[in-house]
Chain A
């Protein structure tokens, strides 16, 4: 199989993931998009490892080994990420990233913006 197929597939996957991270509003979907990007990288790693090991006499298959690392870390990351999303949802009643703006400059945690509350209502009625 030509190297171009997995490479193009991986680029497509990565771009889909990138779009999801940048544009999705639900935190869970953002996490899923991160997974897509990681897997695009994994695909790349495996494809290039196979391509390179074809020429070499003996190889350590370091690309495949690195993929195993990535999968493990991705599992841990998704566990922690989902736990955080769950905690945020329990705490705030939403996992909408656009509403989680506590780090904004000039944000006042004492009276949680009545403007945001009104916007929420407006959104609900719309």
Chain B
């Protein structure tokens, strides 16, 4: 088969798997698990074959016109370059791991068939985004991901948190998608085509009339999808979904779509200096803010969610200094270790029966209960904190190196201000990242107190996947930085000495300071007992997690918050802790700015409709109603009365007829 055919099959197989899974879910439950895992696995193999054949050389392109529109045609186009091939490989690897993991994680869930089908559909949509060479087709995949994330985040729809989170995720990303759509139209009108290759050609020849407007409109959609400030608020709340969904959507694929989109269309953004500076500021605010917020979260998955936002900030930072190689490199390594972190967190939540770090820190020997999760999570946290030689170190240093490159005067592609912003924010974030990674590790695995409950070994499907993902987290970065430039633009991705020493140094400082704070505060833990565990610890992991999420607010007084004086984050952040725990009040600010006015407007419309419009309608109906009431009184139910009335009427009519006939 040709590479084109294989590349078409890659998004098609999970889609067919999803359709078959939805159709057969009730009638043939035995087929659901194979239908969930096998198409994704097959598309993993095919994506690998496509990547090998593509080999970083000439992009594989193919196109056929989908529909004539009268102006700019929409084409079913395929455009597989080095970026697309590698990102597709990442997506399929993570999706396969998530599907395998889900068979164990949700093994008793009655809604597993629809869940697995939606995950397949989601994977297929992401692959469509990755491989598509036409922006309209890309938008189709982009929006399918939005609706799938709505359904998957709301998987535990029995809990109010999940319902609210799914609606919030959908609405916030849609707020970004409206300007995104307008931006796409503006871009296509300027460039005369929706094809990415033609648009890039038009940009190269200076054919864009309004690059700043287009870039800023597109950035809104990217900020929504990739959870960048100020549209990031949906991502921490989306942790109310099942853990494998968090791993798939909120670590490796959906949020990666925004970064990947900018990476593909980077020349469009480069055409506008203002857009690059906006991107850099957005990335810097996102990075530092999310680092501080992650340090204050109590829910283990929310820590990881804020860390995802921060790492995505690194990627947009790399894009704002016009180095898409570094951005996609970090995307790949982050996809691997963040998926691992989420999946390991799922195992820990299952074993501990709670998602609260405060409760875990009062539990002894938790790491002996889940040795696989302990070791793999240690690897992934080291990668997250960018400690050499883990893969996160190389990718993060390539970002910092690119920022330094621009900051030191190589400003032909990006403004120097962007370079400095990203460099400073990146170094500060490296410190914060190491601090919250250390805090997470110490609180989860070095708790002291009553024995952690023992539910036997975790299912094999859940632990094997962790080790599979640990390999790229541990080893890929070291040789990838030498190989990847051949696949990307050819820019050097090797870590530079200054940023490496600086980045690793602040990371070590962050880790050591957090350790010292933890030693200082851990003695307080005994004094304040905390913790509630799930009511059904013997249930499958999905049920335990749903109960843990549902019980967090009643037990600790907030989704993100626990009144735990033994938390090292509380000591490190000082007075900031209170604000960081609630995401710097951004949610309440949005509530005041947007939700309240909308609700006020709705109340006004309701008043006008009920009290003003309805009054006229009711008034018009009053006269017939009164007439009806009068006539109804004749309705006595006595047939003889009716007949008497009939007779009287007949007599009157007859007399009248006679009088008329006789002319009287």
Taking beta carbons and an 8 Å cutoff, which residues of A are in contact with B? 18, 21-23, 30, 97-98, 100-107
Contacts and interface: CB of A to CB of B under 8 A. Distances in A.
Residue of A18, A98, A105, A106 most packed against chain B (CB within 10 A): A105
Contacts of B639: 97, 100
B647 A104 contact: no
B interface majority secondary structure: helix
Given A18-B647, A22-B647, A105 B635 contact: yes
B632 interface: yes
Contact of B643 (A22, A102, A103): A22
Interface of B: 632-633, 635-640, 643-644, 647
B101 to A, nearest CB: 58
B643 A21 contact: yes
A124 B647 CA distance: 33
Contacts of B636: 101, 104-105
A24 B523 CA distance: 100
Contact of A103 (B637, B640, B644): B637
Contacts of A98: 638
Contacts of A105: 632-633, 635-637
A21 B637 contact: no
Contacts of B647: 18, 22
B637 A107 contact: yes
A102 B637 contact: yes
The 10 closest A-B pairs by CB, nearest first: A104-B637, A101-B637, A105-B635, A105-B632, A103-B637, A22-B644, A104-B636, A22-B640, A22-B643, A101-B638
Nearest to A105: B635
Contacts of B632: 105-106
A102 B644 CA distance: 19
Given A105-B632, A105-B636, 20 more contacts: A21-B640, A22-B643, A22-B644, A22-B647, A30-B640, A97-B638, A97-B639, A97-B640, A98-B638, A100-B637, A101-B637, A103-B635, A104-B635, A104-B636, A104-B637, A104-B638, A105-B633, A105-B637, A106-B632, A107-B637
A98 B637 CA distance: 8
Nearest to B636: A104
B625 to A, nearest CB: 14
Contacts of B637: 100-105, 107
A104 B642 CA distance: 11
A18 B639 CA distance: 14
B633 to A, nearest CB: 7
A59 B593 CA distance: 97
Contacts of B635: 103-105
A21 B638 CA distance: 12
Nearest to A103: B637
B534 to A, nearest CB: 48
24 contacts: A18-B647, A21-B643, A22-B640, A22-B644, A22-B647, A23-B640, A30-B640, A97-B638, A97-B639, A97-B640, A98-B638, A101-B636, A101-B638, A102-B637, A103-B635, A103-B637, A104-B635, A104-B637, A105-B632, A105-B635, A105-B636, A105-B637, A106-B632, A107-B637
B131 to A, nearest CB: 66
Nearest to B628: A105
Contacts of B638: 97-98, 101, 104
A105 to B, nearest CB: 4
A21 B637 CA distance: 16
Contacts of A104: 635-638
A97 B636 CA distance: 12
Nearest to B644: A22
Residue of B633, B638, B644, B647 most packed against chain A (CB within 10 A): B638
Nearest to B631: A105
A99 B510 CA distance: 93
Nearest to A102: B637
Nearest to A27: B639
Residue of B632, B640, B644, B647 most packed against chain A (CB within 10 A): B640
B586 to A, nearest CB: 57
A72 B640 CA distance: 25
A23 to B, nearest CB: 7
Contacts of B640: 21-23, 30, 97
Nearest to A30: B640
B24 to A, nearest CB: 48
A100 B640 CA distance: 11
Nearest to B639: A97
B464 to A, nearest CB: 65
A100 B636 CA distance: 11
Contacts of A106: 632
A102 B635 CA distance: 11
A21 B643 CA distance: 8
A53 B633 CA distance: 51
